[in-house]
């Protein structure tokens, strides 16, 4: 991994508020899906983004790729602010960042052959002549462990794991530098998931890829990531190098999340640190620190004042009044 002084991707103050209509007379309310986050990813590394339903992690993935427009903030890709670019400005840059989706059954166009699916991104960006397209598509299929005869088949003829490989081949078609993987193995059986994770690791080495790996599955995140960011209700609460985060989590939510994962040792009794209640609504998030309503350590300051997300020690960032 080369050391670059500038990260491949740097995000500052990123926000996305989705408006929802509340009755025909009442004022608009907003879902604060992503509410001011900062992070960066270095070339060649894998940043794992983990959190539970409604934390905003999927929205972050879409924002970075400009599949949706940010409400506020900066998205610096190789130094260029994507947030400022319009559709025309962003188009040529899209070659450099791609996505792998969660649902292998919904993310492939059922009316296109595999060759067309994998070849289309190359055509859109003018990267190949029509005549070369199939040859190039075949190379991509080979890279993901599929075969030449698969080029002329349709998605419905493949299993979930194979379809996910096709999705990966498509993501590689434009030789991107960054790939956002949004729950790429959540819909797959354990043994198939293992194949896909191994493949992704191998491709990362082969092609020098950088991954933003989004998942709610903590074991998978631990396996694949170099660094991990934990999200809760639209905010990043903690971010650190993987082993540091898993061995000594600082934020109470991170601790609760890790404690909630069932151990694979039937003899090990669970430590009764179980998080009570449900996640509050992102339409009306709690005041101060959003986690205070479920936090066993909450102080009065936590109700009133939102903690800053800042570096508490080398490489570790936390947003918590108690972590100072």
* Interface residue list for other proteins (CB under 8 A): 52-53, 159, 189-191, 193-195, 197-198, 201, 216, 218-220, 222-224, 256-257, 259-267, 270, 274-276, 278-279
User: Which residue, 9 or 188, is less far from other proteins as judged by CB?
Assistant: 188
Smallest distance, other proteins to C-beta of residue 167, A: 18
Smallest distance, other proteins to C-beta of residue 280, A: 11
Smallest distance, other proteins to C-beta of residue 110, A: 20
Smallest distance, other proteins to C-beta of residue 297, A: 16
Q: How far is CA 288 from CA 156, 187, 268, 282, 308, in A?
A: 49, 36, 37, 14, 11
Reduced to 3 states, what is the DSSP secondary structure of residue 221? helix
Q: How far apart are CA 279 and CA 235, in angstroms?
A: 13
User: Which residue, 126 or 277, is less far from other proteins as judged by CB?
Assistant: 277
Exposed/middle/buried for 262, CB within 10 Å: 0-12, 13-18, 19+?
A: exposed
261 Cβ contact list (under 8 Å, min separation 6): 218, 219
Exposed/middle/buried for 173, CB within 10 Å: 0-12, 13-18, 19+?
A: buried
Q: How far apart are CA 223 and CA 183, in angstroms?
A: 14
Q: How far apart are CA 55 and CA 235, in angstroms?
A: 7
Residue for token pair 């299993």: 159
Residue for token pair 């940043």: 47
User: Which residue, 10 or 57, is less far from other proteins as judged by CB?
Assistant: 57
User: Which residue, 271 or 314, is less far from other proteins as judged by CB?
Assistant: 271
Q: How far apart are CA 103 and CA 42, in angstroms?
A: 27
User: Which residue, 136 or 223, is less far from other proteins as judged by CB?
Assistant: 223
User: Which residue, 28 or 267, is less far from other proteins as judged by CB?
Assistant: 267
Smallest distance, other proteins to C-beta of residue 202, A: 9
Smallest distance, other proteins to C-beta of residue 220, A: 6
User: Which residue, 121 or 161, is less far from other proteins as judged by CB?
Assistant: 161
Smallest distance, other proteins to C-beta of residue 217, A: 8
Q: Are 227 and 9 in contact (CB under 8 A)?
A: no
- Tokens of residue 77, six digits: 């890709």
């Amino acid at each position: 991994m080369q050391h670059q002084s500038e990260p491949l991707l740097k995000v500052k103050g990123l926000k996305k508020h989705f408006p929802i209509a509340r009755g025909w007379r009442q004022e608009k309310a907003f879902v604060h899906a992503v509410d001011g986050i900062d992070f960066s990813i270095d070339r060649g590394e894998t940043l794992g983004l983990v959190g539970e339903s409604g934390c905003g992690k999927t929205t972050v993935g879409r924002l970075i790729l400009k599949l949706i427009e940010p409400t506020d903030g900066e998205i610096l890709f190789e130094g260029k602010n994507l947030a400022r670019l319009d559709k025309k400005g962003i188009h040529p840059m899209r070659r450099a960042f791609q996505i792998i989706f969660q649902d292998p059954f919904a993310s492939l166009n059922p009316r296109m052959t595999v060759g067309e699916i994998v070849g289309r991104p190359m055509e859109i960006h003018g990267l190949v002549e029509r005549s070369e397209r199939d040859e190039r598509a075949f190379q991509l299929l080979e890279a993901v462990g599929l075969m030449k005869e698969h080029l002329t088949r349709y998605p419905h003829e493949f299993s979930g794991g194979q379809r996910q490989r096709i999705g990966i081949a498509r993501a590689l078609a434009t030789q991107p530098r960054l790939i956002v993987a949004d729950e790429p193995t959540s819909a797959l059986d354990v043994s198939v998931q293992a194949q896909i994770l191994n493949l992704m690791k191998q491709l990362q080495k082969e092609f020098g890829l950088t991954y933003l790996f989004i998942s709610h599955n903590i074991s998978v995140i631990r396996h694949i990531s170099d660094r991990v960011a934990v999200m809760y209700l639209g905010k990043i609460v903690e971010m650190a190098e993987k082993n540091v985060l898993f061995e000594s989590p600082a934020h109470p939510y991170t601790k609760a999340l890790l404690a909630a994962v069932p151990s694979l040792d039937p003899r090990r009794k669970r430590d009764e640190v179980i998080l009570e209640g449900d996640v509050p609504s992102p339409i009306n998030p709690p005041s101060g620190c959003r986690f205070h309503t479920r936090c066993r350590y909450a102080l009065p300051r936590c109700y009133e004042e939102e903690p800053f997300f800042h570096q508490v020690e080398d490489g570790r960032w936390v947003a918590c009044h108690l972590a100072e």
